[in-house]
């Protein structure tokens, strides 16, 4: 499967901003590993696709919203790896497709829309069985949550990341964080910034993917959601523009903008002891910025 080849993620140093706090800050640029299958989604997906191939499945089915990074990544990865793909999309079919859905469809993904209630219970629309053989279908959870996703995400860390005392990442389902926790050195402190509001089961969901000895060997911050999942305000947008100005690193408003905001805030509040060597994981997701009005972001 040639889609397994991607760029080795670059690490960008942004030391000069934080010299006064005695910490060094670096960013692992997963946003650059692939033009479409960006960030952590590529790492999570590849283990699922390997598994689907071993089970001789021909079609990948998964779930997501109209701007979902997971949907577009799945569509593109399936195209490269030679699978059919099906996306079950939350909400009624819109008159006009979002750029994400347009691109997913162009990549060959078959889109099925379902009501928010049916979506919640992950009901697979009956019409799918008129077009696809049930035995050929391999199902990936919403957001790629699960064991294989964690195994793939563990590969985000490599020999270069061993030197860091702290690793910070954005979390949705927690799969990526579970992968990072499972691959980290015993001494490394892992911090997750939740993109959701009041997601009280997050620790439970992460622990379910980890051996007992790693349960709660990480910290989650729940206070940087800016009103909830995919919510934003001018403070966040201004921060994202300033961050881009100062570091040259673009971020998205759903996950990584909030991640960099949180990291910056925690550094300013001297949460990290002097001498800390911090790695922030840029998990990609920039395509989602296309839902913002033109001109909101300077990049
Ligand atoms: C999906 C996503 C996340 C969340 O990953 P989980 O493994 O679900 O916690 C973080 N950042 C970006 C950019 C994403 O697209």
Q: What is the residue-wise DSSP string for 54-97?
A: HTT--EEEEEE-TT-HHHHHHHHHHHHHT-EEEEEEEBSPPSS-
Residues whose CB falls within 8 Å of the CB of residue 49, separated by 6 or more in sequence, listed in order: 1, 3, 60, 77, 78, 81, 83
Give the pLDDT of residue 35: 83
Give the pLDDT of residue 123: 87
Q: Note the maximum CA span of the chain.
A: 63
| Residue 256 CB less than 6 A away from ligand 1 | yes
| Residue 251 CB less than 6 A away from ligand 1 | no
- Ligand 1 atom at shortest distance from the alpha carbon of 179: 7
Quick check: 154 and 175 in contact, CB under 8 A?
no
| Residue 194 CB less than 6 A away from ligand 1 | no
Using CA positions, which residue lies closest to atom 4 of ligand 1? 172
Residues whose CB falls within 8 Å of the CB of residue 22, separated by 6 or more in sequence, listed in order: 273, 274, 275, 276
Give CA separation, 261 vs 1, 193, 196, 280, in Å. Answer: 37, 10, 15, 11
147-154 and 175-183 helices cross at what angle (nearest 10)? 50
Give the pLDDT of residue 3: 54
CA distance 74 to 85: 8
| Residue 69 CB less than 6 A away from ligand 1 | yes
Burial class (CB in 10 A: 0-12, 13-18, 19+), 165: middle
| Residue 288 CB less than 6 A away from ligand 1 | no
26: part of which helix (H) or strand (E)? Answer: strand 24-29
What beta strand segments (E) does 147-229 contain?
166-171, 189-194, 219-221
Low-confidence ranges of the chain (pLDDT < 50): 1
Total-model pTM? 0.96
Quick check: 98 and 290 in contact, CB under 8 A?
yes
Q: Report the DSSP pairing between strands 189-194 and 166-171.
A: parallel
Quick check: 263 and 25 in contact, CB under 8 A?
yes
Give CA separation, 78 vs 4, 45, 135, in Å. Answer: 11, 9, 17
CA of 176 to the centre of ligand 1 (A): 7
Residues whose CB falls within 8 Å of the CB of residue 281, separated by 6 or more in sequence, listed in order: 27, 28, 30, 40, 156, 167, 168, 169, 170, 176, 180, 259
CA distance 124 to 132: 12
Give the pLDDT of residue 5: 62
């Amino acid at each position: 499967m040639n889609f397994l080849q991607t760029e080795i993620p670059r690490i960008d140093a942004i030391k000069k901003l934080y010299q006064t706090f005695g910490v060094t800050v670096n960013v692992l640029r997963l946003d650059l590993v692939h033009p479409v299958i960006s960030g952590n989604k590529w790492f999570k997906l590849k283990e699922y696709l390997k598994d689907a191939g071993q089970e001789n499945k021909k079609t990948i089915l998964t779930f997501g919203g109209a701007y979902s990074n997971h949907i577009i990544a799945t569509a593109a990865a399936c195209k490269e790896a030679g699978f059919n793909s099906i996306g079950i999309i939350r909400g009624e079919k819109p008159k006009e497709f979002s750029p994400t859905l347009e691109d997913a469809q162009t990549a060959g993904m078959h889109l099925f829309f379902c009501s928010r209630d049916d979506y919640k219970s992950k009901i697979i629309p009956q019409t799918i069985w008129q077009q696809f053989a049930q035995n050929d279908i391999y199902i990936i959870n919403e957001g790629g949550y699960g064991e294989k996703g964690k195994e793939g995400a563990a590969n985000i860390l490599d020999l270069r990341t061993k030197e860091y005392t702290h690793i910070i990442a954005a979390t949705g389902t927690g799969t990526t964080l579970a992968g990072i926790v499972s691959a980290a050195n015993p001494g490394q402190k892992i911090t997750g910034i939740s993109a959701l509001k009041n997601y009280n089961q997050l620790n439970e969901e992460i622990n379910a993917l980890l051996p007992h000895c790693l349960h709660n060997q990480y910290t989650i911050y729940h206070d940087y959601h800016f009103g909830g999942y995919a919510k934003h305000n001018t403070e966040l947008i201004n921060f994202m523009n300033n961050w881009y100005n100062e570091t040259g690193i673009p971020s998205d408003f759903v996950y990584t903008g909030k991640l960099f905001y949180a990291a910056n805030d925690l550094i300013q509040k001297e949460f990290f002891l002097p001498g800390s060597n911090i790695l922030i994981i840029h998990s990609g997701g920039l395509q989602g910025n296309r839902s913002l009005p033109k001109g909101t972001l300077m990049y």
